[in-house]
């Protein structure tokens, strides 16, 4: 596939471009077929591939877990039921170790975040050319299959977590307690402007760091796969070497995709624990 592009830059750019739907410069609505059309569509465009794969993987997660729950057996658990039970126990232990309060939402939320992000990250192990090539056969110009390499997706996840942090901060501490936490710590009260600045930056940094950490690691991993794929167009010797590199990176990347899902989940638990602690 890399050989079908005039330059390596075109190949890389194509594989890092989303399938975007929005309003074109002439006022019509449709799918962008060039970088110029994507730029003209502006902020209110939609990355169709990110939406489709993220929602599809979420539905797959719900369907699979429901199927296991319906067929669950207490007397003779086996197969996928054992795997799901081990995963639930792992999430439960993580929540117990990081969340000091009592909230029935935290464990299901943590399980959803971990599995959903893991599935989105797992798409990075699919060969970079196969699905986009099949899509091009039916006229789809661009297709990115890893939703977590799209900052719109990672920021969507982190902003949802941030909304919960604000909700529980107001619920548990009240508006006055939450403001006092921002305005009167860590320095004395007469330095309230400094406290507000420092604590405000700390608060805003939470969703930004959550989103950029996941996006940056997955984007870098996808870029390495694309660069390795370019080696297949350099002859059979370079192609064989690229095959070994791709296998090695894929094995190592399994750790990365799991770790990134775990980090996002753990930080979510910690942030919600901090928000749920009553102000004194």
Tokens for 94, please give them. 């993580």
Comparing C-alpha atoms, which of 51, 46, 17, 18 is closest to residue 30? 46
Confirm whether 66 is a catalytic residue: no
Q: Write the pLDDT tens digit of every residue in 80-92.
A: 888 899 999 999 9
Point out the catalytic residue in the list 8, 136, 213, 233. 213
Q: Write the pLDDT tens digit of every residue in 216-241.
A: 999 999 999 999 988 887 778 888 88
Tokens for 65, please give them. 């877990």
- Letter string b/e over residues 95-119, b meaning 16 or more CB atoms within 10 A of that residue's CB: beebbeeeeeebbebbbbbbbbbbb
Confirm whether 217 is a catalytic residue: yes
Point out the catalytic residue in the list 45, 94, 148, 217. 217
pLDDT classification of 132: cutoffs 50, 70, 90: confident
Tokens for 279, please give them. 């102000």
Confirm whether 213 is a catalytic residue: yes
- The reported pTM is 0.91
Point out the catalytic residue in the list 4, 100, 209, 279. 209
- Asked if the bond preceding 156 is cis, omega within 30° of 0, the reply is no
Strands (E), the chain: 20-23, 29-31, 46-47
Number of H helices, E strands in the chain: 9, 3
Is residue 195's pLDDT more than 90? no
Q: What is the C-alpha separation between 243 and 131, in angstroms, rounded?
A: 18
CB 224 within 8 A of CB 249: yes
Phi first, then psi, for residue 3 (nearest 5°) are -75, -15
- pLDDT, residue 136, reads 87
Helix (H, G, I), strand (E, B) or coil at 46: strand
């Amino acid at each position: 596939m890399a050989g079908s592009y005039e330059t390596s830059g075109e190949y890389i750019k194509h594989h890092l471009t989303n399938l975007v739907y929005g309003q074109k410069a002439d006022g019509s609505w449709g799918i962008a077929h060039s970088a110029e059309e994507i730029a003209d569509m502006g902020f209110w465009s939609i990355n169709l591939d990110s939406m489709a794969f993220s929602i599809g993987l979420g539905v797959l997660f719900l369907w699979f877990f429901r199927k296991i729950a319906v067929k669950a057996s207490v007397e003779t658990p086996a197969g996928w039921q054992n795997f799901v039970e081990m995963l639930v126990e792992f999430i439960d232990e993580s929540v117990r170790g990081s969340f000091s309060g009592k909230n029935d939402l935290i464990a299901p939320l943590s399980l959803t975040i971990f599995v959903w992000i893991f599935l989105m990250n797992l798409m990075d192990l699919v060969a970079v050319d196969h699905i986009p090539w099949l899509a091009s056969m039916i006229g789809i110009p661009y297709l990115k299959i890893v939703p977590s390499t799209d900052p719109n997706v990672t920021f969507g996840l982190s902003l949802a977590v941030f909304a919960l942090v604000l909700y529980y901060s107001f619920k548990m501490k009240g508006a006055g307690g939450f403001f006092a936490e921002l305005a009167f710590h860590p320095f004395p009260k007469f330095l309230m402007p400094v406290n507000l600045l420092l604590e405000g930056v700390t608060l805003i940094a939470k969703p930004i760091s959550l989103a950029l950490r996941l996006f940056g690691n997955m984007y870098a991993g996808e870029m390495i796969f694309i660069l390795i794929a370019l080696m297949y167009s350099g002859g059979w010797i370079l192609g064989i070497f690229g095959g070994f590199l791709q296998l090695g990176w894929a094995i190592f990347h399994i750790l990365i995709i799991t770790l990134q899902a775990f980090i996002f989940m753990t930080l979510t638990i910690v942030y919600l624990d901090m928000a749920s602690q009553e102000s004194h």
